[in-house]
Structure 1
Amino acid sequence: MKAPAPPSRSLADLRDLTPARVGLGRSGASLPTDALLSFTMDHARARDAVHAPFDVAGITAGLTGLGLGPVEVSSQARSRRDYLRRPDLGRVLDPASVRSLKERAIAACRCAIVIGDGLSPTAVNVHAVELLRSLVPRLGADQIEVGAVIVASGARVALGDEIGDVVGARMLVMLIGERPGLSAPDSLGAYLTFAPRIGLTDAERNCVSNIHGAGLSYQEAAFRISWLVREGLARQITGVALKDESGGGSSQNALPGCDKSAT
């Protein structure tokens, strides 16, 4: 007796499984008008996300409402133009910010959180405070107090290394806007670094990415981040040596050259 033939699948079935552009069809030698207009719109949204203003005041107000007293700092990138053309400037604090952090004499802490604009300020404006609304109670349940919260303008991922070193954080959680894609212009990433200091590479971080409405939910992201923070502190490691075994889904370990990062 022959086994029943597997059901036939169509391009429509594939399109239901992925936001990728597949089976768009054609009109002569070109794309159909609807597909072309959709692509153009998504490309425009991605560009707008890169150049969107960073809502420092709104984020600061939201953090204050959560009982977190944020400190504002800036990188050496003085404009968005500088930020995009000179990635190195976004990895270093400006002198005034270094002085401000030192003068505040923030006590050394087990965990500090940095919120940076990155390559999609839109993502940070929309998701950062709401993610922390889920994350901070989870950290508290593990008896991990957030000792410092910093809002950083013109930030690349590595800016968190210098900030964490200055404030004496054992674990640094960096929330930052990821490079906008055509299907997700507002994707937030979380980068975790144990014993942050200048000169670290992405191999020494963990990354939980794709936090947005059609991606990882705040609750699931908070679950993964809190697990990595707890285990990273206990084992005194992050990066390729620390695998995400939280059971929250596929591993999100940061590797050198992480595709969507603002490094």
Structure 2
Amino acid sequence: MDKPDHNKPHLSPTHPHNEPMEAVTTNAWSKLNAFTDARVGLGRAGISVPTKHLLAFQLAHAQAIDAVHTPLDLANLDNQLKQQPWSPSRAPLHLHSRAIDRATYLQRPDYGRLLDTASADLLDTHRADNPQGYDLAIAVVDGLSALAVEQNTLPFLTALFEKLPVKNTAAETLSSDDCWTLAPICLVEQGRVAIGDDICQRLNAKCVLVLVGERPGLSSPDSLGLYLTWDGKVGYTDAYRNCISNVRPAGLKYQEAARKAYYLLTEARNLKLSGVKLKDRSDDELVLDNKETTNFLVSK
């Protein structure tokens, strides 16, 4: 008996002319897949999703789970940061939240917002040795995707420091008044966004920028979030923070994210505030510089 050829179209048993019938019924919305990663217009095989799309969904789900549970490779990230020309003269500080492990981190979000005792003591000692404080503290936090941190931290910071003039110590002299004194970069395990406020307060920094792995989606296990807070204090809510989301090659590009971050940092410093009172008008300036606008409220 000849083996069936599964690559050939099926024959419709009910069609009067017994014409070939494709295994997958296409969907008119499938053209939208050229513009989005969303699962739109997948078609169907009988009453089900086509096998290739089902397998792709299962792979994306597995990647999202891996992103949440894979630990951050601190040693590798630390080594990479030390080699950067813009890196502070002091080595990165390794910190940990009050969540002792991943299970606790996922079950107790409040534990991820504060430093544990050893980390708090480390920053308190550092502050005692550097009472003048800093203009900017940068916290790199594993969050819900260590993958996002490992892949996107260095490219983003490199793009940011191409725009942001920094000096490593308050004693260092640079001609521009726009320079920022930069605290040692903090690498945080089992942390959430608000842990940046604890770091900012203990380092006596004027501003904190938190780089954190965002909650993975089914098409974005590698999304990095940026959260800026002026004069961060323990207990601040999200109303005090500005957010730049989805920083990754397939989302918001590094140069664009750096442009927005530089704008917000500069405005926060000028106005001495952040959050809902600080509006991101970086795109407005870009539009006006190009003398083009789609906003009917702005004259052409």
Do both share a fold (TM > 0.5)? yes
Distance 2:226 2:254 in 1: 11
Distance 1:36 1:11 in 2: 18
Amino acid of the structure 2 residue aligned with 1:80: R
**Equivalent residue for 2:175?**
none
Distance 1:79 1:180 in 2: 19
- Pick one of 209, 214, 222 that aligns with 2:258: 222
**Equivalent residue for 2:118?**
96
2:106 matches 1:81: no
2:93 matches 1:71: yes
**Equivalent residue for 1:136?**
161
Q: 1:163: Cα distance to partner?
A: 0.7
**Equivalent residue for 1:57?**
75
2:219 matches 1:183: yes
- Pick one of 114, 132, 135 that aligns with 1:110: 135
Contact 1:109/1:148 (<8 A) preserved: no
Distance 1:236 1:13 in 2: 47
Distance 1:52 1:133 in 2: 25
**Equivalent residue for 1:4?**
none
Distance 2:114 2:185 in 1: 18
Q: How does 1:1-263 map to 2 (within 5 A)?
A: 10-66=28-84, 67-68=87-88, 69-105=91-127, 106=130, 107-140=132-165, 142-247=178-283
Distance 1:59 1:130 in 2: 12
Deviations 1:149-200 (A, max 9, x none): 1111110001111110000111110000000011110000100001100111
Bigger drift between 140-149 and 239-248 goes to 140-149
Contact 1:188/1:209 (<8 A) preserved: yes
Higher Rg of the two aligned structures:
2
* Pairwise CA RMSD: 1.6
Q: 1:247: Cα distance to partner?
A: 2.1
Contact 1:111/1:147 (<8 A) preserved: yes
Distance 2:281 2:57 in 1: 37
Distance 2:200 2:72 in 1: 21
Unaligned runs of 5+ in 2: 1-27, 167-177, 288-300
Contact 2:30/2:40 (<8 A) preserved: no
Deviations 1:13-64 (A, max 9, x none): 3121111111111222221111111100101111111111201111111111
Name the count of aligned residue pairs: 241
Distance 1:94 1:125 in 2: 23
**Greater relative contact order, per chain length (Cα 8 Å cut-off, separation 6+):** 1
Distance 2:111 2:260 in 1: 30
Q: Secondary structure at the match of 1:148?
A: coil
Amino acid of the structure 2 residue aligned with 1:237: L
Q: Secondary structure at the match of 2:163?
A: helix
Contact 1:127/1:188 (<8 A) preserved: yes
Amino acid of the structure 1 residue aligned with 2:257: A
User: TM-score scaled by structure 1?
Assistant: 0.87
Contact 1:46/1:181 (<8 A) preserved: yes
**Equivalent residue for 2:293?**
none
